[in-house]
Amino acid sequence: MSLEKAIPVKINGVPHELLARANETLLDCLRQHGQFEVKNGCEKGDCGACAVQIEGEAVDSCLTLTWTVEGRSITTLEGLNDTNKPHPLIAAFMEQGAVQCGYCTPGIIVAAEEMLRETLNPTDDDIALALSGNLCRCTGYTKIFAAIRQAATVLREGGGND
């Protein structure tokens, strides 16, 4: 067992130090830090439940070693919602009924948010591709697609937080 090192990072805009050994994943460290919205579904990079953004790019935190993110900005679902108004994606997921058991939801919203920064006119193929690393066993994805389309419309019309 290797020694623990303090890794400085920003979590949802706030500077923190994550204590981690060389082989510890960002998933474990974030959850130990209390970011329980980051979910563990497989620890193998197969399900996307653990997705977070590093410098805006969605990654599986279970495949990311904490030592490799020194000095980086990490955004979880919580960070997407840190204003008084829910993020349009979050609002759309609630309104469209895109949440069932909800275990996949944090990772899916994190992945969708990255895509919506690329394009506010996503085709269904764009959405399918953006979510291809995120499994959902409950919803059949249908309402998730609808929610993402709704959020894209809201954002296109300038209804976001910014």
Under the binding rule (CB under 6 A), the answer on residue 65 touching ligand FES is no
| Site for other proteins contains 132 (CB under 8 A) | yes
Residues in 103-142 at the binding interface with ligand FES, rule: CB under 6 A: 103-104, 136-139
116 interacts with other proteins by CB under 8 A? no
Is residue 136 a contact point for other proteins (CB under 8 A)?
yes
Per CB under 6 A, does 46 bind ligand FES? yes
CA–CA distance, 33 with 56 (Å, rounded to integer): 20
| Binding mask of the shown chain, residues 67 to 96, with x at each position contacting other proteins by CB under 8 A | ---------xxx--x----x---xx-xxxx
Residues within the interface to ligand FES (CB under 6 A): 40-43, 45-50, 60, 62, 99-104, 136-139
Q: Under the rule (CB under 8 A), what is the footprint of other proteins?
A: 1, 36-37, 39-44, 46-47, 49, 76-78, 81, 86, 90-91, 93-106, 109, 127-129, 131-132, 134-145
